[in-house]
Amino acid sequence: MSHLFHSESGKLKSLFIKKVSAAFIDDAHIEKHWANLNYLDKPIIHNALAEYESFEKILQEQGAQILYFPEDSSVNMDSIYCRDASIATSKGMIICRMGKEGRKEEPAAQQKAFEANGIPVLGVIVAPGTIEGGDVAWLDANTLAVGHTYRTNEEGIRQVTVLLQPLGVNVITVPMPHYRGPSDVFHLMSVLSPVADNIAVVYSPLIPIVFRNELLARGFELVEVPEEEFDSMGCNVLALAPRTCLMVKGNPITKSRLEAAGCKVIEYEGADISVKGGGGPTCLTRPISRG
């Protein structure tokens, strides 16, 4: 993996996903877990299966190698949001330690899958550290931004910093606001999605001023998500390649702003696989390598 570089927006070469059939499994599994996991509403299994099929097809059309996390009885339906349990680097995966109690078994399940596929593991975050992949975003090959949130604590950030130091990576800590409190799924990537080396989709009302100024100082053009498209995940945008973006349908203002910034936008229906669980296309994918 050494020829690859750390990026959120380079062309996707390989990624893991976890199908609805392996994560939501069936209606009984959804019934058991959705309320405890703070979903907005109960996903309808046949709708979720259809939405996911279309989502997966878009990824297949990009030509990336798609690997699949298998069904695993140690984890629940939240494991569909597979970005959160690990962090990709050019030297292997960092296995996270989840801040959300209901997801604590996911990192170990992912580590098994990585090892089974011959993907190196750079390190493992251990207690009392917590860090989730949704709080982590590469700004460039040498800079990782990490949100200090209710899911990612100082010790988790310290451990990641130590792991990345030999790779010449600088870690920027972004102290995030309380917003809706500890039970909400509020990550750094809830308000930031880099979609090219110099373009990022942002929801500025919830970005610390110091960090927003840092993005501007680095030359990022900021595509602003309007307030009415924040809850519908207008800010959760996956770069399939530089300036080629995947987002949930229902965010027309953000879409038109992305297009005005020179981006191609592909949309998918995500009412059941994304909106209800608070996980957009970045959450549904665990990119391994970009080039």
Mean of pLDDT values over 155-177: 97
How far apart CA 154 and CA 131 sit, in angstroms, is: 9
Beta strands in 108-169 (DSSP E): 121-124, 136-140, 143-148
Enumerate the β-bridge partners of residue 12: 290
Q: Over 90: is that where the pLDDT of 215 sits?
A: yes
Q: Over 70: is that where the pLDDT of 19 sits?
A: yes
How far apart CA 19 and CA 14 sit, in angstroms, is: 16
Reported as a pLDDT band with limits 50, 70 and 90, residue 79 is very high
Report the pLDDT value the prediction gives residue 36, as an integer from 0 to 100: 93
How many CA atoms are closer than 13 Å to the CA of 149, on its beta-carbon side?
30
Q: Are 135 and 147 in contact (CB under 8 A)?
A: yes
pLDDT over 70 for what percent of the chain? 98
Amino acid in the structure at residue 247: M
As given in the structure block, the two tokens for residue 268 are 């998918």
Report the pLDDT value the prediction gives residue 183, as an integer from 0 to 100: 85
Cα dist. 110→15, 119, 138, 149 in Å?
Answer: 12, 11, 21, 22
pLDDT over 90 for what percent of the chain? 96
Reported as a pLDDT band with limits 50, 70 and 90, residue 1 is very low
Question: Three-class SS of residue 71?
Answer: coil
Reported as a pLDDT band with limits 50, 70 and 90, residue 5 is low
According to DSSP, residue 86 is labeled E
CB atoms within 10 A of CB 172: 15
Q: Are 218 and 140 in contact (CB under 8 A)?
A: yes
Domain residue spans of the chain: 12-290
Mean of pLDDT values over 235-239: 98
Mean of pLDDT values over 199-203: 98
How far apart CA 73 and CA 155 sit, in angstroms, is: 29
Report the pLDDT value the prediction gives residue 245, as an integer from 0 to 100: 98
Report the pLDDT value the prediction gives residue 208, as an integer from 0 to 100: 97
Mean of pLDDT values over 47-62: 98
Buried-exposed string 198-216: b where 16+ CB fall within 10 A, e elsewhere: bbbbbbeebbeeebbebbe
Enumerate the β-bridge partners of residue 137: 145
pTM (two decimals)? 0.96
Mean of pLDDT values over 123-146: 97
**Sign, CA torsion 86/176/224/231:** positive
Report the pLDDT value the prediction gives residue 184, as an integer from 0 to 100: 85
How far apart CA 26 and CA 22 sit, in angstroms, is: 9
Radius of gyration of the chain (CA): 17
Mean of pLDDT values over 79-96: 97
Report the pLDDT value the prediction gives residue 185, as an integer from 0 to 100: 81
Pick the CATH number of 12-290 from 3.75.10.10, 3.40.50.1370, 3.40.50.720, 2.40.50.140: 3.75.10.10
As given in the structure block, the two tokens for residue 211 are 């960090």
Report the pLDDT value the prediction gives residue 2, as an integer from 0 to 100: 39
How far apart CA 240 and CA 115 sit, in angstroms, is: 25
Mean of pLDDT values over 108-136: 98
pLDDT, averaged across the chain: 96
